[in-house]
Amino acid sequence: MRIGLAYLLQETNSFSPVASRLEDFAVVTGQAVVERWAGTRTEIGAFIDAIGETEHQAVPLFAGWAMTQGPIERPEFDKLLRMVRAEITRAGALDAVLIALHGAMAAVAADDCEGAIVGEIRSLVGGIPIVLTLDLHANLTARMVDSVTALVGYHTYPHVDMYETGRAGAELLLRTLAGEIRPVMAVTKIPLIVPAENMMTTAGPFARVFALGKEALAADRRLLAYSVFGMQPWLDVAEAGAAALVVSDGAREAAAECSRRMAQLFWDQRAAFDVELMTPQAAVAQALAASGQPVVLAEPADSPTAGSPGDSADLLAAFHEYAPGVPAALWVHDERVAAMAWEARPGTVIRTIVGGMYDQVRRKPVPVEAVVRSISDGRFVLTGGYNRGMRVEMGRTAVVSAGPVQVVVSEKAVAGICPEVYRSQGVEPRDQKMVVAKSATGFRSEYGPFAAKILIVDTPGASSPNLRRLDYRNVPRPIYPLDEFGWLAGVR
């Protein structure tokens, strides 16, 4: 059989000051999908491997990935939909489709991009099986569920199971095509948004919800897959909220009961997701008092993978004020300083301001006098558990030393999850007393094995974990934590 493979991931932050464009996805089509993404520990990498192990024919359609930013401009999203239509049409007759999306992509005047994409595909391919994989932070919508045969999400946060999720989706599709199973889904939507910082699946309240799903599958062989979607909370859309979804082999009532139980447990633990935040001054003081290094200062409010531009230099100011003379490292998205460093060349002293280039409402630039240590093209490959094998391009990049503080500045935003942001530029995090990770939780899988201590710092930003600070206008009300109310799980 001919199985179409597609991958298009981006997470939208409604409060981000930087609009998304189609070119940000670096979309490739046809055979270029295999050339670009085969061998990566991503969902599309798993699709390619799984179908390649069968007698079926893989038909690569399109693949692209974009950093989290603000809503996509509507003309750009219309271009994207035209690309989807063109590639489905070009592929010819298909017997099934495997597609990986994020689940929290939004455009101007189009809240549910993934629903529109899978709805478009369904309208073009008819009643053939479609299996969709989603990020754990997806905002699950009725249109997504109604447009596909089966759906499965990540089971880990920090996300280290993208490849395994792709494999799970492929297995569901192959078993469906073989006539072994007849997937039906039950979903429970929850009037709840929670900060990402305590959404870990290794321990804590979210881990207990996933454990309940795992136990249910072990106890009832009719249940095929379970997913819990915490939703990334910076998406201000009308259908916002967490969700629990279960896929069964024709056993809708069993799936519905499991979905309800997971949803209710999620709701009942809602207060446990609250985050303990520290001021920059308090965080630096604790870091200096800690034995060992590095102490990781997480700055989730400026996390590019959550939609912030990565342009905060707040912790640089804190290092200068509260820890002068102490080795530290941070990354800042600032194309002005990167360009200045490239023009000045290594060894030159530059005097400028850094930070606050994109989010000029929440950010303040910091004056610096620094020595240009190195410049590079900003290209590297991820080697840890997060999207291993993915190529990253930061554009023109430089390391400037402001005293003992190593500042990596880049032309483009980059995921703050991985130490490669520093190591690719010759800055080793282990050599620093303090290192900044602009990430909510994803960084824990990468820095956790060698961090002496981890502290979460409260700075202003578009991806702040203090959700009550944000100006929500479109989410359904009531919704926790913006409102206090009681709720009992039903099922869609």
pLDDT exceeds cutoff 70 at 288: yes
**Residue 456 clears pLDDT 80, i.e. is over it:** yes
The predicted pLDDT at position 333 comes to 96
Domains of the chain, first to last: 2-273 (3.40.50.2300), 280-465 (no CATH)
pLDDT band at 458 (very low <50, low <70, confident <90, very high): very high
Confidence class for position 390, pLDDT limits 50, 70, 90: confident
Q: Tell me, what's the pLDDT at 52?
A: 97
- 191-214 mean pLDDT: 95
Q: pLDDT confidence of 386, banded at 50, 70, 90?
A: confident
Kindly provide the b/e burial profile for residues 408-423, where b requires at least 16 CB atoms within 10 angstroms of the residue's own CB: bbbbbbbbbbbbbbbe
User: Which of 152-166, 246-260, 426-440, 462-476 is predicted least confidently?
Assistant: 462-476
Does residue 492 surpass a pLDDT of 70? no
Tens of pLDDT along 97-156? 999 999 999 999 899 999 999 999 999 999 999 999 999 999 999 999 999 999 999 999
pLDDT tens-digit map of 327-358:
999 999 999 999 999 999 899 999 999 999 88
> Mean pLDDT over residues 365-371, rounded?
95
Percentage of residues in the chain with pLDDT exceeding 90?
87
Which pLDDT band, with edges at 50, 70 and 90, does 410 fall under? very high
Contacts 24+ apart (CB under 8 A), 424-427: 424/376, 424/378, 424/379, 424/380, 424/392, 425/374, 425/376, 425/397, 425/399, 426/373, 426/374, 426/399, 427/329, 427/399
